[in-house]
Amino acid sequence: MPEEANGTLFPKDPAFYKDLLDHMSDGVYFVDRSRRILYWNEGAHRLTGYAAEELLGHRCQDDILCHIDGEGNQLCQEGCPLTASMDDGGTHEANVFLRNKQGRRVPVNVRVQPVRDAGGAIVGAIEIFSDDSAQNEARRRAEALKRLAFFDHLTQLPNRRYLEMSMHTAQSEFEVHRDPFGLLVMDLDGLKQINDTFGHGCGDLALQETAKALAGALRPVDAVGRWGGDEFLAIVRNVDAQSLKTLAERCVEQVRKASTILEERKGATISVSVGAALARLGEMPAELLGRADALMYQSKRNGRNRAGVE
């Protein structure tokens, strides 16, 4: 018989609550402290293809669902949100991928909370997971739009718009926190001659090989991209005069090495002329860019395939 509380009827029969959980669109399951699955609702069945009788008694460590994060890390072995929730008593949420019964990866959003006994001790955890396909597709489209806005389609490096923003950010941090930075202006030598002699397809390949070489020459903290046409720009952080010179020369050397690849494939050679300048307090980004640009043209006049540093 139901019992009345605050004007609402609450059935005592546990089957009522099981039926309620089974009608949820979300997947729900409970585990004990050893992560053994004790309950698996119909929503979990619909989302994964696995019925309760196939999973009850199995442990997460058996890796049937093969949860992975966006970087491909196997969460059932390390980094499991269920374990984290039981260890710290907190709520955890993550966007992960599971493998359904048909072997397909399904993006899901998981929310985990600890389960406590009457004395407050943690005896297990509950996970609620939902299909994240629509949200995942929306994130993919947003990332694609972001790439269109800030990336050069030919070289797959950041474009001028992104570099201008990065340059102004670096300048602001320099003015406020005195975090030093410099600019490298780099021009692909003789692109017009490559286009005229070997065709524009070879010219595009020259730009792509140059882009890869420059990205490999610089550090993760640096931002390098295509400034426009045959010109590249890098914002290099936490540098002094010597480290700026080292980075500029490394860019020249890496493009020189990449030239071997292009020469073997197309018969063309590539090199860059570089101008490198450290930021000065009170200097506008356009002034810094002008100094680096002038040094780059000086490198060209001095024979190309070299770096000028100030």
**Looking at the structure, do residues 212 and 123 belong to the same domain, yes or no?**
no
Residue 183, pLDDT > 90, answer yes
Q: Are residues 125 and 239 in the same domain?
A: no
Residue 169 has pLDDT above 80, yes or no: yes
Query: 133 with 24, same domain?
Result: yes
Residue range 238-288, pLDDT digits in tens: 999 999 999 999 999 999 998 887 787 788 889 999 999 999 999 999 999
Question: Does some domain include residue 295?
Answer: yes
> Where is pLDDT greater, at 7 or 228?
228
- Over residues 204-222, mean pLDDT: 93
Q: Which pLDDT score, from 0 to 100, does residue 267 have?
A: 83
At 132 the three-state DSSP class reads: coil
Of the residues 138, 173, 201, the one at which a domain ends: 138
Can you spell out the DSSP letters for 263-295? Answer: HHHHS----EEEEEEE--TT--HHHHHHHHHHH
Query: Which tokens is 232 given?
Result: 């590249």
On whether residue 211 sits in a domain, the answer given is yes
Single residue among 93, 115, 138 that ends a domain in this structure: 138
Q: Answer whether 179's CB lies under 8 Å from 247's CB.
A: no
Both 91 and 163 in one domain: the answer is: no
Catalytic residue positions?
230
Q: What is the mean pLDDT of residues 55-78?
A: 85
Residue 2 has a pLDDT of 43
The pLDDT-based confidence of 167 (bands split at 50, 70, 90) is very high
The verdict on 103 and 159 lying in the same domain is no
Please say if the pLDDT value at position 21 is more than 70.
yes
Query: In angstroms, rounded to a whole number, what is the distance separating the alpha carbons of residues 187 and 231?
Result: 4
In-domain check, residue 144: no
Mean pLDDT of the chain: 88
Neighbouring CB atoms inside 10 A of 112's CB total 22
Based on the domain organization, do 164 and 134 belong to the same domain? no
What does the pLDDT read at residue 310?
84
This prediction's pTM: 0.57
Residues 293, 308: contact at Cβ < 8 Å?
no
Is residue 233 domain-shared with residue 285, that is, in the same domain?
yes
Mean pLDDT of the region 48-57: 93
Instruction: Say what percent of the chain tops pLDDT 70.
Output: 91
The answer on 174 and 69 residing in a single domain is no
Domain ranges, residue 264: 151-309
Convert the pLDDT of each residue in 79-132 to its tens digit.
Answer: 889 999 999 999 999 888 998 998 888 889 899 999 999 999 999 999 999 888
Q: Are residues 185 and 98 in the same domain?
A: no
Distance, in Å, from the CA atom of 304 to the CA atom of 306, rounded to the nearest integer, reads 5
Higher pLDDT, 18 or 38: 38
**Residue 4 banded pLDDT, cuts 50, 70, 90:** very low
Is it the case that residue 3 has pLDDT exceeding 80?
A: no
Which range, of 133-142, 149-158, 259-268, averages the lowest pLDDT? Answer: 133-142
Secondary structure of residue 135 in the 3-state scheme: helix
**Do strands 8-10 and 27-32 pair parallel, antiparallel, or not at all (unpaired)?**
unpaired
Task: Report the CATH number that the domain containing residue 53 is assigned in CATH.
Answer: 3.30.450.20
* Confidence at residue 16, expressed as pLDDT on a 0 to 100 scale: 64
